[in-house]
Chain A
Amino acid sequence: MTGIRATDVAVIGAGPAGLAAAVAAVDKGANVLLLERDARPGGILQQCVHNGFGLHYFGEELTGPEYAARFAGEAARRADRVSFLPDTMALSLDSDRTITAVSPREGPLTIKPGAVVLAMGCRERARGALGIAGTRPAGVYTAGAAQRLVNLDGYLPGRRVVILGSGDIGLIMARRLTWEGAKVLMVCELMPYSSGLNRNIVQCLRDYDIPLYFNTTVSRVHGSERVEAVTVVKVDGKRQAIPGTERVVECDTLLLSVGLMPENELTRMAGIQLDPVTGGAVVDERRQTSLPGVFACGNVLQVHDLVDHVSREAEIAGRYAAGYAKAGTLPMPKLSVSAEGFTRYVVPQRISAEPEGMVDLYFRVGDAVKPARLTVRTADGKTILTRRKKAMTPGEMEHVKVDVSKLTGDVVVVTEAVGNV
């Protein structure tokens, strides 16, 4: 055993969230231990070689590795206060904030930090979560696993590809594989719309004449050793397969891009309250979870589509984690924030007893609304603000700034459809 390590703030995960949180904590005077199970910092961005990152944060379009490198550079410049522990996997988190971790270099580690920032990112939903029938041959990948193979290892996962799911990762992979010489036969989408950005539909599918079929799913995988074909089927309004619409498509690869799930094993171990809709912790505007001194940010808190928002959220978490480490306490939650109408969830879910200044409420709608009216009101009926939006879609996270000094009660974020009754 390598004794017990004390630190002001321990950050678990060195993706964009963990890096930004570490930098922000140092800038508030904390010493930071940054744990990362991978050999390098950067998280999922290392394999996202396409561009489109950083437009909000840096005002320019960067690729994933470039965006990550900027934050890794900021952390490296603070090397006297940030100890980066690569190849280090956090195994458990206790309710007294003790972390156990293991690394080949240091062996088992026990860390007793003043505060913890959870920044473990998310995981892709795999075939098991979908219940697709048929055989279990090689050639079924999650889109992110395929992305890693192509972009980090230099392997093409297959030559004739069907993609299930039209979120951005699926769309990006359609173009990536096409560019590497594979034939992407189609993208199937269970819903009647894509949660991906228009830009990706245009530049990743239309540019290469790759068909996108809505209300369509994959019901069966064929093949013994390797995928030989998949059965594609139309679904009705209740997302049930419509008999007689099955079609067998010959292919050697099926990519699944069917959603991400926050990776909250450690959070659960510590007994922290989770939000069943986001899959992440319930937090207040400082990103403090229900366990005092433990903060969460990035995809482990809510699945983000823009890394720019990840960085901003992480800076909040890092800053207040440093504050907690110093003071040993922060104001506890007082008000709750909830979703109504088309609003599916809101983060933060709580507002503390002493909120400071303006607070950004992040939320998503559960269905496409065009045009929409957004209202933030208190549960006792006082309207705080209203906005009209040309369009809101589940694929794009929205946010609204609220002056928290005006709050007299619990907050409700309402999205309604307008005009087109």
Chain B
Amino acid sequence: MSDSITMGGGKREFICIVCPVGCPLKAEGDGDAVKVTGNACPRGAVYGRQEYLRPMRVVTSNAAVQGGDRPLVSVKTSGEIEKARIPDALARIRGLIVSAPVEIGQILIDDLAGAPLVATAAVGKV
């Protein structure tokens, strides 16, 4: 995976995802100075710079529930985390066992790669 490294120089290409046009972006830089080309509007430059320097993603998954009326509860990071840390985050979610009942919005892990992990559904107790 070529574009998962934080910082780092060189030229990289992205598709802008900010609007349906999907401009093909080229980003090049060293350190914090990033030059973005190919963007038809300023929002693309902001996105390209972020993608180049430090791509961020929300992670959504499921965690195992003990004693619940369902075996799983859906979860998300309540903000974006660094893309490079997603594998770690997923491994920790896989190891998680939550006891029922679970409230929607309940914090399940305080700091998962930089953001809290919260439940996105409620699970009742059996």
Contact check, A209 vs B120: say whether CB atoms are below 8 A apart: no
| Residue of B14, B58, B86, B90 touching A51 (CB-CB under 8 A) | B58
Contact check, A198 vs B17: say whether CB atoms are below 8 A apart: yes
Most A CB within 10 A of own CB, among B16, B76, B120: B120
Closest-by-CB residue of B relative to A389 is B20
- In the assembled complex, the CB of B100 is this many whole angstroms from the nearest CB of chain A, namely 15
Interface string of A7-42 (1 = CB under 8 A from B): 000000000000000000000000000000000000
Contact check, A179 vs B76: say whether CB atoms are below 8 A apart: no
Interface string of A389-421 (1 = CB under 8 A from B): 011010010000000000000000000000000
Contact check, B120 vs A207: say whether CB atoms are below 8 A apart: no
- The answer to whether A65 and B58 touch (CB under 8 A), given A179-B90, A198-B20, A391-B21, is no
* Cβ contacts under 8 Å, A64 to chain B: 74
- In the assembled complex, the CB of B81 is this many whole angstroms from the nearest CB of chain A, namely 13
- The answer to whether A199 and B60 touch (CB under 8 A), given A51-B76, A207-B83, is no
- In the assembled complex, the CB of A322 is this many whole angstroms from the nearest CB of chain B, namely 29
Q: How many residues of A contact B (CB 8 A)?
A: 32
The CA-CA distance from A62 to B74 in the complex, in Å, is 12
| Residue of A61, A201, A208 touching B15 (CB-CB under 8 A) | A201
- The answer to whether A396 and B17 touch (CB under 8 A), given A51-B60, A65-B74, is no
Closest-by-CB residue of A relative to B20 is A391
The A-contacting residues of B in range 29-67, CB under 8 angstroms, are 40, 57-62, 64
Q: Does A107 contact B (CB under 8 A)?
A: no
Closest-by-CB residue of A relative to B76 is A63
Closest-by-CB residue of B relative to A370 is B21
* Cβ contacts under 8 Å, A179 to chain B: 59, 61, 86, 90
The A-contacting residues of B in range 64-89, CB under 8 angstroms, are 64, 70-72, 74-76, 83, 86
* Cβ contacts under 8 Å, B70 to chain A: 152
Q: Does B97 contact A (CB under 8 A)?
A: no
* Cβ contacts under 8 Å, A46 to chain B: 121
Most A CB within 10 A of own CB, among B22, B58, B60, B76: B60
Q: Does A330 contact B (CB under 8 A)?
A: no
Contact check, A49 vs B74: say whether CB atoms are below 8 A apart: yes
Contact check, A49 vs B120: say whether CB atoms are below 8 A apart: yes
Q: List 16 A-B contacts (CB under 8 A).
A: A49-B60, A49-B62, A51-B60, A65-B74, A65-B104, A151-B62, A152-B72, A154-B72, A179-B59, A179-B61, A179-B90, A197-B20, A198-B20, A207-B4, A370-B21, A396-B20
Closest 5 CB pairs of A and B: A65-B121, A49-B74, A199-B17, A63-B120, A198-B22
